[in-house]
Structure 1
Amino acid sequence: MRSLLILLPALLATHHVWAQQLPPQPPRQGLPAALAFELAEYDAKRADGLNRLAQMAKAQLEGVRKNQMEAGNLEGTNATLKAMSQLPVTSLEKADPPEGAPPDAVLVFKDHTRKAFAGITGLNSQFIPRIEQVKVELLKSGDLAGANAADALAKQMRSESEQLQLAKEPVTGAKTEALSSFTVEALIDGGSELHVTKDGIQWVVPGGEAKPGLHVGSNEATYVNGARWKPKWKNQGERGPDTSDVYPIKTTAPKLISETVLVSKERFGKHDERTPVATSVKDGHFVVTIRDPEGGSRWYKVRIKTLP
C-alpha cells in the first residue's frame, strides 16, 4: 500500500487535510519518468492535504475529549479517543463514528469524513486526465509496460472516486447535530461580546476596547473546543467598535447557559478573580458579555452548554 495525498482544490484555501492510504498501486520501481513525476506531485499534495485536515479534526476532538473527562463520562471519553485513532477517514469501511461517541465528536468526525472524501475525489479528478495523457504519450513512444501502468493507476483513481461518491449523499445530506457543549478561549481586554447563533459564533466589540486577541500588539487566536480560529474583522485596527466573521458551529442557541472555566494572565495559567461574565438573549442570539473592566488583559475560557 502506498500513501498518497488528498487535497480538495475547492477546499485548499479554507480547509486543512490529513494523510491517507489507497488500495494497492502499480509498482513504483521502473516507472517511466513522466509517470513517476505525476505520481510524486500527487503523493505530495495528498499527503500534505490529508495531514492538515486530520490535525484540525484531532484538535477539535481533543477539546471534546477534555469536556467528556470534565463531565465524568468515561464512555464518551474512550469513544472520542477511538474516533481520533480512526483518522484519517478515506474509505467507506471507516466512515462511521465509533459506537458511544458523544454528539460533539460525531459532528467533528462526520465533517472530517465529508472533507476527506471530497478532497480525494477532487484531487483524483485533477490527476486522472493527466495520467491518461501520459498513457497516450507512452503508448505512442512504444512503452507498452509504462502505458499499462498508467492505465492501471487511472482506473484505480476512478474506482476510488466512484466508491467515495456512494457516501456523498449520506455524509453531506445527513442532519447536522448541534453541539451539546463547547468551550471558547480568548485574550480579552475590556468589553467584548460573544454572540452565539444556531449556526455559529462571532465576536462583537460594541465600544472602543481592544478586539479579542489584539490587546497592545498581541495577535492571539480564539480557540473553539481547542481548535484555532483567527477572527477576521470588518475594520482595520486593534480596537472597536467592530464585528468579526462567523465561526461555523451548530448550537441550540438561544437555549444555552454559560459558565466560566478559567480566567488567567497566561493561557492555562493560574486563575484570577475578575468581574463575572454575564449572559443575555438579544434578537435570538445567546450573548456572553465579558466586561473585564480591570486593568490588563486576561485569557477567558467559557463553556457554553445546552439548557438541561
Structure 2
Amino acid sequence: MSALSVYARHHYEWLRVSGLSEHTVAAARSAVKLFLDWLGERGVERPEDVTLAMLERYARHLFYLRRANGQPLTLSSQRQRLSPLRKFFAWLTRERVIAANPAADLMLPRTQRRLPMRVLSLAEFESLVRHTGVHGALGVRDRAILETLFATGIRRFELAQLTLRDLDRAGGTLAVREGKGRRDRLIPIGERALAWIEAYLTDVRPLLSVDAADATLFLTDHGQPYVKNRLSDLVKGYLEAVGIRTYGACHLFRHSMATLMLENGADLRFIQAMLGHADINTTTIYTRVAISKLKEVYTRTHPTATLQRRVREDDASA
C-alpha cells in the first residue's frame, strides 16, 4: 500500500470524526481513490511528490474522459471528483505531512444551476400512481412510496433511511434525520400519503419483514432496506410505464412538488424548509420553473397583453 493510500485512510477517519455523513465520506473516498489510482499508474506514491501540475493534468484527464456510453463527464461530475482532492491535500498540509498544499490553486470547473428538465403535472402524477394498482400488494407499497415522495419532496436517500419512528401519523409529520449536510428537519405530510402508508403498514409490510428488529419504513420485495439505485429503478419503471422518460426519477417528484406549491402561492421560505435547503438561493431556482404563474401575472399586467385583451373584448362585443 502506498503512503498516499495510508494517509487517505486516516483522512476518511478524520472526516467521520468531523461529523460528516457516511454519504459524504463515501463520495470523498471514491474521488480520492480514483485520483490515487491515476497517480499509481504514473509511479507517484508519496504525498510530497504530488504537484499542482499533476492535479491540473488530472483535471484535463477528467475533461476528456468518456463514459461507457461515449458521453463525457458533466462539469458537475468533474467538480465532484476534484473537490475532495482539495480537502484531502488541505488536510495533509494541516497535519504537516507536506510543507505546502499543491491543490490550493487548483481551479474547479464552473457549473451552472440548471432548471429541472421536467415537472410532473398533477394529472400525470395521478396517472402514474393509478398504475401501481396492477401490482397487487406490492403496488400498495409502491403507491405509498410515490405518494410520500410527492407529498414531502424528500430526497431518495432520505426516503430510503426512514424508520417507523420517523412517522407521526397522529400529528401528520415526518422526521427526516441526517438529511443532506446531516441536518434534521420535521416536515408535514398530507393525509392522502399517510393513508397509503397506513395501508402499506397494515397489509403489506408484515408480509415483507424478515427481521422484527429492523425498523426501516419501506422494505424491498426481499424485506431489506432500499439502496438508492434500487429505489430509482422502481420509480423509473413506473414513469416509463406511463410514457414519461427523464433522468433523476426520484428527484422529479421533489422538483414537481416544489414547483406546483410555488405556483399555488406557497412562500419560498416554506419550500426551503420542506426541501431542507441550507441556503434559500438554492430554492430560488423554482421561481424560474413556475412559469404558469409568471404567465398569469404577465397576461394580467403587461401593457401589450392588456391591449390585446381589450381588442378581443371589442371584437366580441361588435
Q: TM-score range, shorter-chain basis? A: 0.3 to 0.5
TM-score by length of structure 1 reads 0.33
- Structure with a larger share of its residues in strand: 1
